Amino acid sequence: MYEFNYRKAASLDEAKDLFSKGEDAKYMSGGMTLLPTLKQRLARPSDVIDLAAVPDMSGIAVTGDTVSIKARTPHAVVAANAEVKKAIPALAKLAGGIGDPMVRNRGTIGGSLANNDPAADYPAAIVGLGATIHTDRRTIAGDDFFQGLFETALEEDELIIQVDFPIPDKAGYMKFPNPASRYCIVGVMVSSKGGNVRVGVTGAGACAFRVKEMEDALKANFAAEAVEKISIPDGDLNSDIHASAEYRAHLVTVMAKRAVAEANG
């Protein structure tokens, strides 16, 4: 790691103030992506602003139709939460499959979303469940949040406060992990709520996206067979030594099919 100044913010305002004063500051939530990046000397922030001491940033609330998760809630807490498991089991499953147990004990939903790694799990849930992201200054629709490779709708100093997931009638999440890193080669979240269907895909492209053709087919018939013949174009998909774009496109179909089957229980 290059040298940086560690700053511990006691409030949101202080965090933003420290951010504005830093030449090239970075917020740190769980640090599970930031620190590996720094260790490999791939980034060189002037200041690292730790959000750990900002009060009221962690916790889960489940109301009649919404699961609300505060930004600094660790993945393991989401995965183990009985109410989440009951309301959106696919979300608990997704959180329980991120990284490994130690990563889940420290990594947070807000940190994951703000970083927007193309192979992260949570983005599939954001678009696949139609979540809403509350920041320190506004509300962003999940569909508008991810804007490209490591790019989000967040302004430079903007902080995620909470994520609201509408509770679907049913949902399913299937992930095909990279054998080495365990990140997503492809992850698909499907959900159905009052006749609306969402298919959110992560890992396959530059950032999470929805598959309209599958959603339309599932609206007509929410069954695995409805999507098994739908293939998505591979032109814009990621390609690396672990999976070609063509293989990723294929896996989107397979994972979507399996996610629907899971949703149907």
Q: Which of 234, 224, 232, 233 is nearest to 256 (CA)?
A: 224
Q: How many Cα atoms occupy the beta-carbon half-sphere of 156 within 13 Å?
A: 9
Sheet with 47-50, side-by-side order of all strands: 5-8, 47-50, 25-28
Q: Which residues in the 182-211 window bind other proteins by CB under 8 A?
A: 182-183
CA distances in angstroms from 90 to 55, 78, 98, listed in the order given: 29, 11, 13
Among 19, 145, 146, 176, binds other proteins (CB under 8 A): 176
Among 11, 20, 139, 181, binds other proteins (CB under 8 A): 181
Report if residue 68 touches other proteins, rule: CB under 8 A. Answer: no
Write out the H or E segment, with its range, that includes residue 92.
helix 89-95
Q: Which of 46, 64, 62, 52 is nearest to 1 (CA)?
A: 46
Report if residue 231 touches other proteins, rule: CB under 8 A. Answer: no
Stretch that binds other proteins, among 4-12, 137-145, 198-206, 207-215 (CB under 8 A): 4-12
Least distance between other proteins and beta carbon 244 (Å): 7
Report if residue 1 touches other proteins, rule: CB under 8 A. Answer: yes
The nearer residue to other proteins, 1 or 61, going by C-beta atoms, is 1
The nearer residue to other proteins, 3 or 156, going by C-beta atoms, is 3
Sketch the per residue contact string, 46 through 65, with other proteins: x for CB under 8 A, - otherwise.
--x-x-x-------------
Helices (H) and strands (E) in the chain, counts: 12, 14
Q: Other CB atoms closer than 10 Å to residue 144's CB: what's the count?
A: 11
Among 9, 18, 38, 218, binds other proteins (CB under 8 A): 38
Q: How many residues bind other proteins (CB under 8 A)?
A: 42
Which regions of 46-137 does DSSP assign to beta strands (E)?
Answer: 47-50, 60-62, 66-70, 132-135
Stretch that binds other proteins, among 11-19, 132-140, 180-188, 208-216 (CB under 8 A): 180-188
Q: Is the dihedral of CA 166, 218, 140, 90 positive or negative?
A: positive
What do you get for the CA distance between the two ends of the chain, in Å? Answer: 46
Beta strands 139-141; 184-193: pairing state: unpaired
Q: Which residues in the 70-109 window bind other proteins by CB under 8 A?
A: 76, 80, 99-103, 105-106
Report if residue 42 touches other proteins, rule: CB under 8 A. Answer: no
The nearer residue to other proteins, 47 or 164, going by C-beta atoms, is 47
Report if residue 155 touches other proteins, rule: CB under 8 A. Answer: no
Sketch the per residue contact string, 115 through 154, with other proteins: x for CB under 8 A, - otherwise.
----------------------------------------
Bridge partners, residue 26, by sequence: 48
Q: Which residues make up the interface to other proteins (CB under 8 A)? A: 1-6, 8, 31-32, 35-36, 38-41, 48, 50, 52, 76, 80, 99-103, 105-106, 176, 178-183, 241-244, 247, 250-251, 254
